[in-house]
Amino acid sequence: MAKHHVTTTINGETVEFLCDTKQSLLDVLRNQLYMTGTKEGCATGDCGACTVNMDGTIVCSCLVLGVEAEGKSIQTIEGMAKGSELHPLQQKFLEHAALQCGICTPGVLVAAKALLERNPDPTEEEVRYWLAGNLCRCTGYNKIVEAVLDAARVMRGASNA
Amino acid sequence: MLKKTEEPVKDLKVVGTRPIRPDGVPKVTGHAQYGADYYLPGMLWGKILRSPHAHARIRSIDTSKAQALPGVKAVMVGSDLPEQKFDYLGPDRVQVNFWHMTRNIMAREKALYVGHAVAAVAATTPEIAAEAIKLIEVDYEVLPHVIDVDEAMAEDAPLLFEDMITRGVNPSPTKPSNIARRAEFKIGDVEAGFAQADEIVEMSFKTSPVHQGYIEPHACLARFGADGQCEIWSSSQGHFMVRGYTAKILGIPVNNLVVHPAEIGGGFGGKTVVYVEPIAATLSRKSGLPVKIVMTREEVFLATGPTAGSSMTVRMGVKRDGKIVAADGVFKFQAGAFPGSPVMNGCMCAFSVYDLENARAVGYDVVSNRPKSAAYRAPGSPIVAFAVESVVDELARRIGMDPLELRLRNAVKVGSPTIWGPKHGHGGFRETIEALMNHPEYKKPLGPNQGRGVASGFWFNGAGESAVTIHVGEDGSVSIASGSMDVGGSRASMAIMAAETLGIPYEKVRSTVANTASIGYNHVTGGSRVTYATGMAVVQACERIIEDLRTRAAMMWDVNVDDVIWEDGCAKPANPSVGDFKPLTLAEIAAKRAVTGGPIAAEVAINAGGQAPGFSTQFCDVEVDPETGAVKILRFVAAQDVGRAIHPSYVEGQIQGGVTQGIGWALNETYVYNSKGEMENAGFLDYRMPVASDLPMIEAVIVEVPNPNHPYGVKGAGEVNIVPVTAAVANAIRSATGVRLTSLPMSPPVVLQALESESASV
Amino acid sequence: MSETVPVKVVLNGAFRPWTEGGETFEIHAGTLKGVLRELDRLYPGLGEVLEEDTAVAIDGVIHEIVYTQKLNPGSEIYFIPKIESG
The phi, psi pair for B7, rounded to 5°, reads -95, 145
The phi, psi pair for C28, rounded to 5°, reads -105, 120
Residue B24 confidence (pLDDT): 94
Contacts of C80 in chain B (CB under 8 A): 420-422
Let me know: does B390 contact B203? Beta carbons within 8 Å.
yes
CATH code at A58?
A: 3.10.20.30
Considering the domain architecture, whether residues A56 and A99 belong to the same structural domain is answered as no
C32 located within any domain: yes
A141-145 contact pairs (CB < 8 A, 24+): A141/B656, A141/B660, A141/B691, A141/B692, A141/B695, A142/B652, A142/B653, A142/B656, A142/B697, A142/B698, A143/A96, A143/A97, A143/A98, A143/B649, A143/B652, A143/B653, A143/B656, A144/A93, A144/A98, A144/A99, A144/A108, A144/B692, A145/B692, A145/B697
Facing residue for A102 by CB, picked from B27, B660, B690: B27
- Helix runs in B400-521, H state only: 403-409, 429-437, 490-502
Spans of chain A, pLDDT less than 50: none
Q: Which residue has the higher pLDDT, A89 or C47?
A: A89
Considering the domain architecture, whether residues A67 and A95 belong to the same structural domain is answered as no
Contacts of B376 in chain C (CB under 8 A): 86
Considering the domain architecture, whether residues A68 and A100 belong to the same structural domain is answered as no
Considering the domain architecture, whether residues A143 and A99 belong to the same structural domain is answered as yes
C86 located within any domain: no
Facing residue for C52 by CB, picked from B90, B269, B425: B90
Facing residue for A46 by CB, picked from B37, B684, B693: B684
CATH code at C60?
A: 3.10.20.30
| Number of domain units in chain A | 2
C35 located within any domain: yes
C67 located within any domain: yes
C-beta atoms of C80 and B377 within 8 A: no
Boundary residue ending a domain (A79, A96, A116): A79
Question: Does C16 touch chain B if contact means CB atoms closer than 8 Å?
Answer: yes
C-beta atoms of C64 and B93 within 8 A: no
C49 located within any domain: yes
| Number of domain units in chain C | 1
Q: Rounded to an integer, what distance in angstroms lies between the CA atom of residue B601 and that of residue B518?
A: 14
Question: Does B705 touch chain C if contact means CB atoms closer than 8 Å?
Answer: no
Considering the domain architecture, whether residues A63 and A37 belong to the same structural domain is answered as yes
* B717 CB-side CA count, 13 A: 36
Residue B90 confidence (pLDDT): 55
C22 located within any domain: yes
Question: Does B68 touch chain A if contact means CB atoms closer than 8 Å?
Answer: no
C30 located within any domain: yes
Residue B1 confidence (pLDDT): 25
Domain range for residue A35? Answer: 4-79
Question: Does B355 touch chain C if contact means CB atoms closer than 8 Å?
Answer: no
Let me know: does B327 contact C66? Beta carbons within 8 Å.
no
- Helix runs in B363-489, H state only: 381-399, 403-409, 429-437
Let me know: does B439 contact C76? Beta carbons within 8 Å.
no
The residues, ordered by sequence, that sit 6+ positions from B413 with a Cβ below 8 Å of its Cβ are B355, B424, B427, B429, B430
CATH code at A136?
A: 1.10.150.120
Q: Rounded to an integer, what distance in angstroms lies between the CA atom of residue B230 and that of residue B515?
A: 13
C-beta atoms of A140 and B127 within 8 A: no
The residues, ordered by sequence, that sit 6+ positions from C44 with a Cβ below 8 Å of its Cβ are none
C-beta atoms of C82 and B91 within 8 A: yes
* B64 CB-side CA count, 13 A: 2
Q: Which of B263, B269, B237 is CA-nearest to residue B658?
A: B269
Considering the domain architecture, whether residues A100 and A150 belong to the same structural domain is answered as yes
Domain range for residue C19? Answer: 5-81
Residue A40 confidence (pLDDT): 98
Successive 10-residue mean pLDDT values, chain B, 762 residues = 42 92 95 97 98 98 98 98 84 72 97 98 97 98 97 96 90 94 93 98 98 98 97 96 97 97 96 97 98 98 96 98 98 95 94 97 97 96 98 98 98 94 93 97 96 97 93 96 90 94 95 95 90 94 97 95 96 94 96 95 94 96 97 98 95 97 98 96 97 98 95 94 98 97 97 87 48
Q: Rounded to an integer, what distance in angstroms lies between the CA atom of residue B2 and that of residue A116?
A: 51
Boundary residue ending a domain (A39, A56, A79): A79
The phi, psi pair for B268, rounded to 5°, reads 55, 25
C17 located within any domain: yes
Give the minimum alpha-carbon distance from B460 to chain C in angstroms, rounded to a whole number. Answer: 8
Q: Quick: pLDDT tens for C66-78.
A: 998 889 899 999 9
Pairing between β-strand B698-703 and β-strand B631-641 as defined by DSSP bridges: parallel
Question: Does B529 touch chain C if contact means CB atoms closer than 8 Å?
Answer: yes
CA B549 to chain centre: 39
Considering the domain architecture, whether residues A13 and A36 belong to the same structural domain is answered as yes
Q: Quick: pLDDT tens for C7-17.
A: 999 887 666 66
Contacts of B268 in chain C (CB under 8 A): 86
* Chains A and B lie in contact, requiring 3 or more CB pairs less than 8 Å apart: yes
Residue C44 confidence (pLDDT): 86
Question: Does A135 touch chain B if contact means CB atoms closer than 8 Å?
Answer: yes
Residue A161 confidence (pLDDT): 53
- Give the number of beta-carbon pairs within 8 Å between A and B: 181
* Chains A and C lie in contact, requiring 3 or more CB pairs less than 8 Å apart: no
What domains are defined for chain B?
Answer: 35-145+214-303 (3.90.1170.50), 426-459+612-762 (3.30.365.10), 464-608 (3.30.365.10)
C-beta atoms of B269 and C85 within 8 A: yes
Considering the domain architecture, whether residues A71 and A111 belong to the same structural domain is answered as no
Facing residue for A101 by CB, picked from B265, B297, B690: B265
- Three-state SS for chain A is CCCEEEEEEECCEEEEEEECCCCEHHHHHHHCCCCCCCCCCCCCCCCCCCEEEECCEEEEHHHCEHHHHCCCEEECHHHCCECCECCHHHHHHHHCCCCCCCCCHHHHHHHHHHHHHHCCCCCHHHHHHHHHHCCCCCCCCHHHHHHHHHHHHHHHHHHHC
Q: Rounded to an integer, what distance in angstroms lies between the CA atom of residue B199 and that of residue B559?
A: 74
Chosen for mutation from B304, B341, B347, B607 (greatest number of chain C CBs closer than 10 Å) is: B607
Residue B760 confidence (pLDDT): 62
Q: Which residue has the higher pLDDT, C50 or B207?
A: B207
Q: Rounded to an integer, what distance in angstroms lies between the CA atom of residue B510 and that of residue B729?
A: 42
